């Protein structure tokens, strides 16, 4: 099994941050394309969606590692969860 942190570190060393940032944008665009196909065209492309989500998560992990912002991103997510949760609960109750 490959250690994720070692993989991210090596990818950043080999390709550099500029190239990896552009690759991240490309992977997000590919995920966007697959989601649009699935929603607008009712296309059965779950395997492609899984693959593109994995690609995007790999690239995002590299960005968090490069900028050393793992903790800050986690904190930002928690703030968003706290802010949005009451709205979601209200929407669910409204049915």
Q: What is the pLDDT along the chain (95 residues), one digit of tens a residue?
A: 999 999 999 999 999 999 999 999 999 999 999 999 999 888 899 999 999 999 999 999 999 999 999 999 999 999 999 999 999 999 999 98
29 falls within a domain = yes
Q: How many domains is the chain built from?
A: 1
Residue 91: the pLDDT is 96
88 falls within a domain = no
In terms of residue numbers, what domain contains 12? 4-69
**How far is 61 from 8, CA to CA, in rounded Å?**
7
18 falls within a domain = yes
95 falls within a domain = no
pTM over 0.85? The answer is yes
Distance of CA 68 to the CA centre of its chain: 17
Q: Which two tokens stand for residue 38?
A: 């699935």
Element housing 35 (H / E): helix 17-40
Instruction: Identify whether the C-beta of residue 21 lies closer than 8 Å to the C-beta of residue 63.
Output: yes
86 falls within a domain = no
80 falls within a domain = no
For the beta carbon of residue 23, count every other beta carbon within 10 angstroms. 16
Q: If you search the block for the tokens 């060393």, which residue do you land on?
A: 13
9 falls within a domain = yes
For the beta carbon of residue 18, count every other beta carbon within 10 angstroms. 8
82 falls within a domain = no
């Amino acid at each position: 099994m490959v250690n994720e942190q070692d993989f991210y570190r090596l990818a950043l060393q080999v390709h550099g941050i500029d190239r990896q940032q552009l690759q991240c944008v490309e992977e997000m665009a590919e995920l966007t394309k697959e989601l649009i196909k699935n929603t607008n065209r009712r296309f059965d492309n779950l395997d492609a969606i899984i693959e593109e989500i994995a690609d995007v998560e790999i690239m995002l992990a590299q960005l968090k590692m490069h900028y050393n912002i793992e903790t800050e991103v986690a904190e930002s997510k928690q703030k968003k969860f706290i802010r949005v949760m009451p709205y979601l609960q209200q929407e669910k109750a409204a049915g």
